[in-house]
Amino acid sequence: MMILFFVLGAALGSFACCQAWRIHDKDKSKWSHCEKCKYKLKWYDNIPIVSWLTLGGKCRKCRKPIGWAELLSEVGLGIMFALSFWLWPIKGGLVIENFAEVCKFCLFLINLVILLILFVYDAKWKELPVNLMIVSAAIAVVFLGINVYMSYGLGRPFDWISLAGALVILPGFYYLMYRVSNETWVGGGDWILCVPLTLMLGNFWLAIFTLFAANIIGSAVSVPLLVKKKGIKAAIPFGPFLILGFLMVFFLQAQILSLVII
């Protein structure tokens, strides 16, 4: 099953990376093509991971490099899908008692695909498409709704204060930084991206950990870059770090919560 989910993730990773280009170029063409020579890809050029590796990362026709984003997207989403299946708390397979969990699992996978499009887009063009973030937030609202429903179903009232705190600490904090710095510290898209991430975490502590994780990863990547370029002006997109931080915290949430709730 994990291999199956890896393959599905890799195929959707290929799709997501391609969608980032399409949204950016406002491209409505049906067929994937080479960015350099416009060569239309055949079906055998579109096999996730395998095609990239057999072509050595180059276009079949013009031999210009395709770029690493495609391969990394396919492998990355493949791993995320397999990991999600492995870690998801569905007991005894896809049975009806776990219907709510199955729904949550599917919504999470859809949002993983959207987050990958946002990741690639922000890394390439230092911008986040707002419409896509709204779709992601809408999915996250349903995800949260199921969490609330399950919580009451199990006889535990949902912790709305914790959720409110999470919204203040992540989207709220980034919105403040964006307004105070006039978009020089963080971009205008970052706080909107924080909305779906926070709704899926739904917890104050998890939001704090995501904030720290994103900033630690961000510093580890951007400080060497800034030193090399010797300037603070080199704009570094923050969206990818937020997404990576979120994924780490989401998958480790049980461990994190057992640390902070004594």
Residues that bind Zn ion (CB under 5 A): 34, 36-37, 39, 59, 61-62
CA distance 204 to 232: 31
The least CB distance from residue 58 to Zn ion, in Å, is 8
| Residues near 122 by beta carbon (within 8 Å), at least 6 away in sequence | 128, 189, 237, 238, 239, 240
Residue with Cβ nearer Zn ion (36 or 229):
36
CA distance 162 to 176: 20
Pick from 72, 46, 78, 76: nearest CA to 59: 46
The least CB distance from residue 18 to Zn ion, in Å, is 15
The least CB distance from residue 55 to Zn ion, in Å, is 10
Residue with Cβ nearer Zn ion (71 or 118):
71
Residue with Cβ nearer Zn ion (37 or 216):
37
Q: To 10 degrees, the CA torsion angle through 37, 8, 241, 52?
A: -30
Q: Are 214 and 246 in contact (CB under 8 A)?
A: yes
Residue with Cβ nearer Zn ion (22 or 126):
22
Residue with Cβ nearer Zn ion (67 or 224):
67
The least CB distance from residue 68 to Zn ion, in Å, is 16
Scanning the structure block, which residue is given the tokens 């072509």? Answer: 55
- Torsion-angle region of 47 (φ positive above 0: left; ψ -120 to 50: alpha; else: beta): beta
Pick from 74, 92, 89: nearest CA to 7: 74
The least CB distance from residue 257 to Zn ion, in Å, is 49
The least CB distance from residue 37 to Zn ion, in Å, is 3
CA distance 216 to 74: 25
Residue with Cβ nearer Zn ion (36 or 42):
36
